[in-house]
Structures are given as C-alpha cells and as structure tokens.
Amino acid sequence: MGQKACIALSVCLLALGLAAIGSADDPGHSEPAQVAAGCSTTSALVSWAAVSDSHLSGYDIYRKESSASEYSRANPLLVTTTQYTVAGLTPGIGYDFSVVARYNDGHSSAMSVPATCTTG
C-alpha cells in the first residue's frame, strides 16, 4: 500500500472513531421511562415521563411490528413534548414503541423499555 493510501486510510479510521465517540451513549443521561402506547385502527398515541436534564433537546420515537427485529424512527423531526402520535399503522398488527432522549451535547440515551399495543 502506498503512502497516500495509508494516509487516506488513517484519516478515514480516525474519522470513524471520532464519529463513534460523538454518537455513543453518555451514561450520565437517562432514557425516558414510563412509556405507554394506546392503539386505534391505524395509529398509536405514545407517551412517556419527561426526562429532567438541562442538556435535553427532545425525543425520537421508534416503532416496529412486534414480530420484527429492528426498529425504525417514527418521527421526522425531534419531538419536544412527551407524547407523539404514530400514524400509518396497519390494522390488526401488534407494535412495539420505544423512546430515545436526544441531548444538545451530542449524546443520546439508550432506548426506553418498549410499550406495546395492537391496532384495531
């Protein structure tokens, strides 16, 4: 491997390492608690207890079908309240919802304990 390739690889590895540090969970920040979900036919109202932290920017809500293995983010923009309506759900399906707190210092919390409901 040539010198330029080694330098480029080193820069990439350094950037990846710094990105991982910036996105890592900070153990000093708490995840949202008391997450609850109530389903209707095609939507769910997800609510949670507010996180008390001066660095809190807002929350992201994640959803998945109960039988699925991976979550996807449900909200397009950061949520600044303690409830969010997830629309576009399929009737008759069980869903799991989890909430992540986002902080203005670049950290995020772990996912909350999920809440589950089934659409009508």
- Residue 14 tokens read as 């350094």
- Across the chain, what does the average pLDDT equal? 85
Predicted local confidence at residue 46, as pLDDT: 98
pLDDT digits (tens, 9 = 90+) for 29-83: 889 999 999 999 999 999 999 999 999 999 999 999 999 999 999 999 999 999 9
3-state secondary structure 38-105: EECCCCEEEEEECCCCCCEEEEEEEEEECCCCCCEECCCCCECCCEEEECCCCCCCEEEEEEEEEECC
The ranges assigned to domains in the chain are 28-118
May I ask the CATH architecture of the domain 28-118?
A: Sandwich (2.60)
Q: Residue 11: pLDDT above 90?
A: no
